[in-house]
């Protein structure tokens, strides 16, 4: 008899650390609620499944973020431009959608000082959120992707974008890897000859992949960049969703509790 049921929709979803992080937060503030995994196959059923199960809130992960956007009753904030959402809230039977990956990323790079010019590797859903988040803060962002197909979105938003064959490098303060290269393999997100000169002159490198030193971060470190993995991004997107779920404002002790939950085995 749990009053407020929250879930993460994904396919696959087994690997997700969100339940342990969110449940740690709920416990910390004594909120009458529980957060679990929901394996969802057909993204187009997401709104009906959400409402039929009486879920109060949800996170949405691969591959359903675009379908979740398209099926929501109302989309708020930067998500309207990103056209992908990772958070649903049940507001009196209406499905309200948000993207907390974008502000979560901005929180995660706050420790990198005076970032003005970013090279963003990859052009998938996460890259779209990060590119528009940076643009909203008037930080210059250039996208570099392996292939040309996914670049239309960035062109529509007047964001300079390249694929490997036509890339004209500049000098960047920060290089972000938003590709899935390095997640389960030992690939760099772009050829070493292309990346190394850029990392030599950059100050910071960030990888969205969480919990490991990817080949990209290793190369950045070799070239004297200050590096950071995706843990804080995961934490802050979760924290922002948690605030929406519970209608509370996070403080330091909640952040600590949720980080501990996230890192638990």
Shortest distance (Å) from residue 34 CB to ligand NDP: 22
Annotated catalytic, 228? no
Distance CA 204, CA 218 (A): 12
Taking alpha carbons only, the member of 78, 89, 168, 163 closest to residue 129 is 78
**Is residue 179 a contact point for ligand NDP (CB under 6 A)?**
yes
Which of the residues 226 through 265 are near ligand NDP (CB under 6 A)? 230, 233-234, 237
CA distances from 144 to 16, 151, 169, 175, 201 (A): 28, 9, 10, 10, 17
Nearer to ligand NDP, 4 or 226 (CB): 226
CA distances from 170 to 155, 160, 188, 193, 203 (A): 18, 12, 19, 15, 14
> 231-246 vs 101-108: helix axis angle to the nearest 10?
130
What is the Cα 23 distance to its own chain's centre? Answer: 19
Nearer to ligand NDP, 51 or 255 (CB): 255
Which of the residues 126 through 165 are near ligand NDP (CB under 6 A)? 126-127, 145-147, 150
Tell me which of 36, 37, 65, 263 is the catalytic residue: 65
**Which DSSP state fits 245?**
H
Nearer to ligand NDP, 87 or 237 (CB): 237
Shortest distance (Å) from residue 40 CB to ligand NDP: 16
Query: Beta-carbon neighbour count of residue 136 at 10 Å?
Result: 14
Which of the residues 2 through 61 are near ligand NDP (CB under 6 A)? none
Return the residue of 180, 194, 213, 263 that touches ligand NDP, per CB under 6 A: 180
Asked whether the beta carbons of 56 and 6 are under 8 A apart, the reply is yes
Which of the residues 86 through 125 are near ligand NDP (CB under 6 A)? 101, 122-125
**Is residue 214 a contact point for ligand NDP (CB under 6 A)?**
no
Please give the positions annotated as active site.
65
**What is the binding site for ligand NDP (CB under 6 A)?**
62, 101, 122-127, 145-147, 150, 178-181, 183, 187, 189, 208-210, 230, 233-234, 237
């Amino acid at each position: 008899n749990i009053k407020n049921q929250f879930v993460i929709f994904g396919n696959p979803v087994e690997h997700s650390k969100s339940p342990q992080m969110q449940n740690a937060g709920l416990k910390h503030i004594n909120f009458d609620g529980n957060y679990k995994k929901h394996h969802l196959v057909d993204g187009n059923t997401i709104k009906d499944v959400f409402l039929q199960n009486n879920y109060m809130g949800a996170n949405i992960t691969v591959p359903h973020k675009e379908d979740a956007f398209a099926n929501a009753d109302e989309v708020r904030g930067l998500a309207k431009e990103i056209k992908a959402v990772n958070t649903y809230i049940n507001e009196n039977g209406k499905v309200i959608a948000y993207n907390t990956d974008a502000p979560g990323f901005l929180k995660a790079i706050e420790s990198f000082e005076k970032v003005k010019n970013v090279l963003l590797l990859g052009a998938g859903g996460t890259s779209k959120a990060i590119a528009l988040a940076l643009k909203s803060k008037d930080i210059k962002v250039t996208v570099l992707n392996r292939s040309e197909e996914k670049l239309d979105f960035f062109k529509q938003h007047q964001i300079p974008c390249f694929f490997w064959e036509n890339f004209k490098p500049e000098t960047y303060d920060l290089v972000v890897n938003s590709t899935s290269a390095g997640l389960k393999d030992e690939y760099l997100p772009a050829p070493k000859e292309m990346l190394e000169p850029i990392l030599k002159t950059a100050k910071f490198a960030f990888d969205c992949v969480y919990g490991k030193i990817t080949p990209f971060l290793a190369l950045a470190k070799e070239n004297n960049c200050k590096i950071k993995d995706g843990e804080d991004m995961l934490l802050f997107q979760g924290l922002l969703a948690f605030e929406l779920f519970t209608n509370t404002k996070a403080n330091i002790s909640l952040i600590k509790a949720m980080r501990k939950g996230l890192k638990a085995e």
